[in-house]
Amino acid sequence: MLRRNAIVAAALDEFAEKGFAAARMEDIARRAGVAKGTIYLNFNDKEALFEAIVNQEMRPNVEALASKVAAGGSLRDFIHETLLPLVGDLARTRRGVVVRLLLSEAGRFPKLAEVYYQLVIGPALDSIRTLLQAKDRGELKAMMLLQFPQLLVAPIPMAVIWTGLFERFEHLDVERMAHAYFDFLLGEKPARRASSRKVRKARDE
């Protein structure tokens, strides 16, 4: 169903630029190269379009995460092979936009927050817990992460938010930030690099 995918992609772009309420179905249709009515052949309403975006863009990531955990590696491997790529992915692709979009609109669409929790957050945290219980009992960082596995992924919301809102005022290399964070978590010494701080134009305006 190429037609359907084109509509979802167009909707994501429009929602990302304007937000859910301010995005116009007509603009989505034009961007997808179809007529307004065609959208309604595939989706009941605007909200259904939103849910389709979440499903289409997030499900693959979560499934990848779950299978990585099921494959059973070390925490270190999990971080390097899964979490770090995920941060880069969110920073560079439209998936990051989906996350921000969700933050924006979840309040208005409670079902959406629930879907996201059931589909993404809950399983992801379960994966993390499983991993930690298997490997790292007793250490300080493991204790912290067992109680609050959310902390393992704390750089993710920070990265998504910074990229979306503040990047144009001050650059932040979110992948290196995540790298530094995970190195610290694992007690490893990071490679020396130049500071990532570069103040941008808007700051001086």
- Report d(CA 153, CA 176) in Å as an integer: 14
Nearer to DNA, 44 or 118 (CB): 44
Nearer to DNA, 24 or 92 (CB): 24
Binding partner selected for residue 35 from DNA, a second copy, none, CB under the kind-specific 5 to 8 Å limit: DNA
The amino acid sitting at 149 is P
In the complex, least distance from residue 98 CB atom to DNA, rounded to whole angstroms: 19
Q: Ramachandran region of residue 172, left (φ > 0), alpha (ψ -120 to 50) or beta?
A: beta
In sign, the C-alpha dihedral spanning 19, 111, 93, 151 is: positive
In the complex, least distance from residue 29 CB atom to DNA, rounded to whole angstroms: 7
Of 3, 59, 92, 193, which one interacts with a second copy (CB under 8 A)?
193
Residues 8-67 that bind DNA (CB under 7 A): 22-26, 34-38, 40-41, 45-46
Q: Could you say whether residue 6 binds a second copy (CB under 8 A)?
A: no
Binding partner selected for residue 40 from a second copy, DNA, none, CB under the kind-specific 5 to 8 Å limit: DNA
Q: Could you say whether residue 100 binds a second copy (CB under 8 A)?
A: yes
Q: What are phi and psi of 146, to 5 degrees?
A: -65, -40
> Of the candidates 60, 136, 50, 65, which has an alpha carbon nearest to the alpha carbon of residue 98?
50
- Report d(CA 20, CA 10) in Å as an integer: 13
Please return the burial class of 169, using the count of CB atoms within 10 Å of its CB with bins 0-12, 13-18 and 19+.
Answer: middle
Buried-state track 180-194, b at ≥16 Cβ within 10 A, e below 16: bbbeebeeeeeeeee
Q: Could you say whether residue 141 binds a second copy (CB under 8 A)?
A: yes
Binding site for DNA (CB under 7 A): 3, 22-26, 34-38, 40-41, 45-46
Binding site for a second copy (CB under 8 A): 16-22, 100, 102-108, 113-114, 116-118, 121-122, 125, 140-141, 143-144, 146-148, 150-151, 153-155, 157-158, 161-162, 164-166, 169-170, 172, 176-177, 180-181, 183-184, 189-190, 193, 195-197, 202-203
